[in-house]
Amino acid sequence: MSRVTITPFRAIFAVFCLAFLVLLAAPACAWVPPLHDNRAPDFRSGKWPEPEFRLPDRPGFSLYELPKPETKSQPDPGAQQPPPQAQKPKGGGDGWQVDVQGYRYLRMRRYGSAGNSTRFESAMGLFAYGSAFEQGTDMSLTASRDRYALTASFYEMPRQDREMEVALGAGLYNLRFGDIVLAFKGGSFTPFSKKITGFEVGYNTKKTFLQMFTSQSKSQTQTRTFTGRNIKGPYDLGANDLIPDRVTVKLNQTVLGGDEYILDAFLGEITFYEILTSSDVITVTFEQRLRGGLDAGGLSGLAAGFNAGRARYGVSHLVQEANRGAQTVKKTVSGETVVPDADGVLQAAHGFIARTQESGSETIIKSVAGLDTTLEPGVDYNAVDLSQKMAFYAQGKFKLKAPFDTNAVYTISYAYYPDDVVQRQENEYISHLNAVYTLQQQTIYYGSETVRQCTDQTCTVYTGLVLNRGTDYIIEESQNRIILYNYIAPDDHLAIDYNYYPLLGGVESTQYDHTVDGLSLEYDVSKAVKVKAEFARSQSDISSKPIQQLNETVAFVTQDLACSGAALNAGCKFRFSNKGLVDNSVVMYFNDRVTRENILTPYSDYIVDTDQGAVEIRKDIPAGTVILADYRYYPDRPEGLETGNIWQFDGAYRDSATQFALSLKGADTTFAPVGGEANMETARMNWNLTHALGPNLKIGARGLSVDTASDLEQAHTTTQQQHAFDVDWSLPDKKIKISAGLATRDQSDDFSPAQTDSSEKATRFSLGAPMPLLKNATMDFGFMRQSVNDNKQGAANTANTRRDLGINWKPSQNLSFNGSFSESALDSSGGAAEPFTSTTRANAITSTWKPTRLVTLGAKIDKQSKTDSRPSAEGSTINNTLIRLDTAPFGRVHFIGIVLTKNDRPSINTPSSSTQSESFSASLAVTRAIDFSPSYINTSSSYGSTSQNENTNTTYKLEYRPPGRPYNAAYSIDKGERSSRSLTSSSFFNTGRSKLEFGYNPNPVWAFTAALENETESSTSGVPGKNLDKLNLQLRHKPVKGRSHWLLFNRNNYGGTQSYSQSTLEFGLDYKLTDLFSWDLRYRKSDYSDKIRADSSYDGYLLESSLRIQF
């Protein structure tokens, strides 16, 4: 047996647990939610949060009680599902009421081909869905009887993560297990909200609460801290695929509401509704999904609470087990010996080499007679274009420059993505009307993809056309998007297959469990006075917890440095204050963060040595430049458990005129919450006072003091002091409101010389009032003047002036206008940096106008522009605009529609892109049987300053549908022009398309359609043209309800730059056998003949049959 040491903390914890068990028998009484107001004043905007005085509106555990369920027929797997409660069955009765919805299928598949089987499997989508047997399930169940309620959902599809959740409620007890999103009610210091795979048990009465769970975590908690750039955004969080409702955003220590920012959880970008200046500090804590076989270790927890009237008690115990079987996104290979083949290709043992679009992770050493030489990428090997290089990395190949030494010994060291991390996405439809399309999955591996043309949006039948990597498109991994260079007609269709991997630095790995125990006590001294105390202790391996370093001055350059040449300059290498940096966490700046030009691009502008904590700059550095950096690093400490404590005291007073709240907190740097980073905040005091001098006049004061340690040993401390004072006044009718405020913020540290030494002062004024001369119109005007004095070496003082105007106007039911107009001007003076003025203007307008019953006009304009006085800083504009006109039917006109769009996609590390379009469409009745529909669309797009594309299409369509007749016909003509320009080439094409369609439906049993289509393309740039003929025939037969047969034939003949023919014949049937069971069968015969590349031809078949049960 192992010895257990009885520490004072464990003794106190045991007493609390014993007291909790004794008090279970105490009488029920009113529960008052815990008091906790740890919010700092909003320094920049003057929005003063009211103290959180929440009086009980009902008995029971309003904070800790698990929410009541909304019994759904099909729960959302990605959202938290509360435990079910018993409900009265619909229709009455005392038995079980059960409702099952969804389906399950079993599919059998056979296929074979002669010729190029790889191309056949790609065209048929069989790379991922080519197994002989396939099954899938999407089901949900709800059941109830008396005090019992049950909900369950199960989702399982090929090559997708399985999702299952079951929830059972029985009176005071509830149980959930499976893949659930859990919110642990453990108090302020054991916050926990994750996607888990496990189970949860709860027990609730009016006086007691108990929650237990154990699980595997399927998400990883991460934190990002950054400063504003005098724009609203977007700001890149450096992570994709976030869980949207598991995000906490803090601005200058103040928690923001969800209505103050826009989060793109898929792309990992955040945009604020207000302009953030360079003195604003933003902290975003989020949950990122773990894909494939990754998890973050076992988790278990216990939380309990008891209501004893004026006092409330709470205990919690949370454990994250060590992830001893360390799972990382990347694995490494060292010193692998490889023999080149006859073509000089070194084939590594693994594919999907870790790399960027600039360089790979490999090191290749050539040994001849004991002499080692490190080969240079792009020179000694893989001296190919980008598209071929990406394909080589995906295949694990390195092609040596000819001639190569056959007697040498080659060894390779590299990092790669293992099989349980890399996943495959098949048959994703590309909406290609815009030149830039965002893909569904995160972090595509460029070089693994295949982009194909298909016949319709289902992309079950392919034309055989495969787009060329690097010529027709490129992939941007960091932005999760594909850039299409060549024109695709609006009714052509594309699909893409690709591999992807998580954008993670790896799942935290340690040999030690992480434990946090918490205690809380709340007491109502009187109706006006409430207090709360909390204490928590953690035991964790601090060496595995990264620490955020923000705004570090890396160097002050006193003379010009030439760092962009081929020869390495020793003076261009600089060291950070810390070693052991987190991969991909470093962001470098020159002088300031305000302009895009001052943000350096990784790999091309600098290379980071994460182990040594050093950076090598690869661009020229002018004299007087201040090099700044943000990064995260692992503390230089031995592995092992360390104990850390944290405590907090909150008190509040409230009467009819006065509200006062005080919060005190102290913590060790070794305290770490489960799933969080190391704590560097050692002390905090926050107070908040408001007093009403009358019904229309209120004054307030706020204060905040925070001590932050520079390292775990607390060798140095940075202190921040904030104070704010405000006055609010309004007329008795509240139509006119005036507010004014003064705020100060001082930051300093005890370094010598000081690394942080600044003082800020801000004054603000706001006015809200009806607009003169306008009916039903109000306006809000705000003004703020902020000055920052930064006394660090080489830094510059700044002054920021901000103006805001908001207008809401609705003169009638047919017209509404909402607008916000902001301007933020940042002036820099003094110091060694070049003085500058940077101005950002942000305007957002939404308006709807219906001048008549027939016409509706709508506009949504969101524009952000930035100018800078420095010649080296270019201005920028982000414009997202939609203007639309629609008409209701009138006379012979079915509709008229006009749409204008403009969408800018800014980017920091890659060129920005922009797309705009103008379209017109209409439909009118020539006779009762004939409709005429003209349309026009012009789309232009750009990618950076080097690539521009423009497409123009005009379509005329004539439809013949005689009433009461079984036949119909349509004829359409499409004429288009497209142009493409880059730094090295330009092209211009004329396109044409004609299409004849015929349909015959003699009765509800039979239906026949035929389509004959011709496409042409010619170029004035000397590029060979093309000619494509398409024939599509369809025959459908529905003899009775629940049974259908079909026969499809498709044939494409392509001439010009490519010369091929492809035909597909398909027969299928679908039978509903019973109310539950259905069966389908599909046989497809396809042949492809390429007259230029005979080795690409194939002849194959595909036979599929499915048995399906539908609930």
pLDDT tens-place string over residues 622-671 = 888 888 888 888 888 888 899 999 999 999 999 999 999 999 999 998 99
326's tokens: 């360390």
| Mean pLDDT confidence for 951-970 | 93
Which pLDDT score is estimated for 271? 84
Distance, in Å, from the CA atom of 927 to the CA atom of 946, rounded to the nearest integer, reads 50
**Over the chain, what is the mean pLDDT?**
80
Contact (CB, 8 A) for 825 and 804: no
Average pLDDT over residues 487-512: 67
Looking at residues 1023-1049, what average pLDDT do you find?
Answer: 90
Domain boundaries, the chain: 8-106+143-212+299-320, 221-289, 331-416, 516-540+649-746, 550-561+573-632
Tell me the per-residue pLDDT of 31-43, one tens digit each, with 9 for 90 and over.
Answer: 333 333 333 334 3
Q: Which of 267-281, 806-820, 1038-1052 has the lowest mean pLDDT?
A: 267-281
Asked if residue 682 lies in contact with residue 669, where contact means CB atoms within 8 angstroms, the answer is: yes
Tokens of 102: 């969804």
CB atoms within 10 A of CB 772: 7
Name the residue among 692, 792, 810, 793 with its Cα closest to residue 747. 792
Q: Are 690 and 659 in contact (CB under 8 A)?
A: yes
Strand pairing category for 481-484 and 473-476: antiparallel
Give the tens place of pLDDT for each residue, 786-804.
Answer: 888 877 654 567 788 999 9
Whether 962 contacts 929, CB under 8 Å: yes
Q: What is the CA radius of gyration of the chain?
A: 33
Q: What's the whole-number mean pLDDT along residues 1072-1101?
A: 89
Distance CA 381, CA 403 (A): 11
The pLDDT, as a whole number, for residue 431 is 66
- Tell me the pLDDT tens digit for each residue of 884-895: 999 999 989 999
User: With bands split at pLDDT 50, 70 and 90, how would you rate the model's confidence at 262?
Assistant: confident
Report the range of poorest mean pLDDT among 385-389, 448-452, 769-773: 385-389
Q: What is the b/e burial string over 1082-1108, where b = at least 16 CB atoms within 10 angstroms of the residue's CB?
A: bebebbbbbeeeeebbbebbbebbbeb
pLDDT tens-digit series, residues 179-201: 888 878 888 887 777 777 888 99
534-552 confidence digits (pLDDT tens): 999 999 888 888 888 887 8
The full DSSP string for 379-434 is: TTB--S-HHHHHHHHHHTEEEBPSS--TTSEEEEEEEE--TTT-EEEEEEEE-TTS
Average pLDDT over residues 378-383: 84
pLDDT at 146 over 70: yes
Give yes or no for residue 530 having a pLDDT over 90: yes
Distant-in-sequence, close-in-space partners of 126: CB < 8 Å, separation ≥ 6:
111, 120, 1102
CB count in 10 Å sphere of residue 512: 18
Distance CA 232, CA 274 (A): 6
In the three-class reduction of DSSP (H, G, I as helix; E, B as strand; rest coil), residue 538 is classed as strand
Is the predicted pLDDT of residue 564 greater than 70, yes or no?
A: yes
Using pLDDT thresholds of 50, 70 and 90, give the confidence band for residue 896: very high
1030-1059: string of b/e by CB count within 10 Å (b at 16+)? bebebbbebeeeeebebebbbebbbbeebe
- Give CA angle at 882 (881, 888), nearest 5°: 165
905 closest CA partner among 497, 483, 604, 501: 483
Q: What is the pLDDT of residue 24?
A: 38
Region 844-864: what's the mean pLDDT? 91
pLDDT digits (tens, 9 = 90+) for 87-115: 444 444 467 888 889 999 999 999 989 98
Phi-psi region of 785 (alpha: psi -120 to 50; beta: other; left: phi over 0): beta
In this structure, of 270-274, 453-457, 806-810, the range with the lowest mean pLDDT score is 453-457
Q: Which of 198, 226, 215 is nearest to 285 (CA)?
A: 226
Alpha carbon distance 188, 186 (integer Å): 7
- pLDDT value at position 534? 94
Cα 864 versus chain centre, distance: 22
Residues 6+ away with beta carbon under 8 Å from 426: 125, 127, 128, 129, 159, 497
Residue 153 confidence (pLDDT) above 70? yes
Length of the chain: 1111
User: pLDDT: is 280 or 103 the higher one?
Assistant: 103
Say whether pLDDT at 333 is over 60: yes
Distance CA 783, CA 1041 (A): 69
3-state secondary structure of 212: strand
pLDDT at residue 275 greater than cutoff 90:
no
Please state the rounded mean pLDDT for residues 860-875: 81
The pLDDT-based confidence of 27 (bands split at 50, 70, 90) is very low
pLDDT in tens, 286-315: 777 665 555 556 788 999 999 998 999 999
Check whether 77 has a pLDDT greater than 50: no
For residue 290, the model assigns a pLDDT of 64
Condensed to tens digits (0 to 9), the pLDDT of residues 687-721 reads 999 999 999 999 999 999 999 888 888 888 889 89
Higher-pLDDT residue of 457 and 1029 is 1029
Q: In what order do the strands lie in the sheet with 436-438?
A: 436-438, 481-484, 473-476
The string of DSSP letters for 130-187 reads --SEEEEEEEEEEEEETTEEEEEEEEE-TTS--EEEEEEEETTEEEEEEEEEEEEE--
On whether the CB atoms of residues 149 and 69 are closer than 8 A, the answer is yes
Percentage of residues in the chain having pLDDT higher than 90:
31
Residue 16's SS3 state is helix
519-556 b/e (C-beta count within 10 Å ≥ 16 → b): bbebbbeeeeebbbebbbbbbbbbbbbbbbbebebbbe
Give the pLDDT confidence of 757-772 residue by residue, as tens digits. Answer: 888 899 999 999 998 8
Beta bridge partners, 99, equal: 142
Question: Is 406's pLDDT higher than 90?
Answer: no
Centre a 10 Å sphere on the Cβ of residue 963 and count the other Cβ atoms it contains.
6
Q: Is the pLDDT of residue 58 over 50?
A: no
Contact partners, residue 515, CB within 8 Å, separation at least 6:
317, 318, 319, 320, 538, 539, 540
pLDDT at 994 over 90: yes
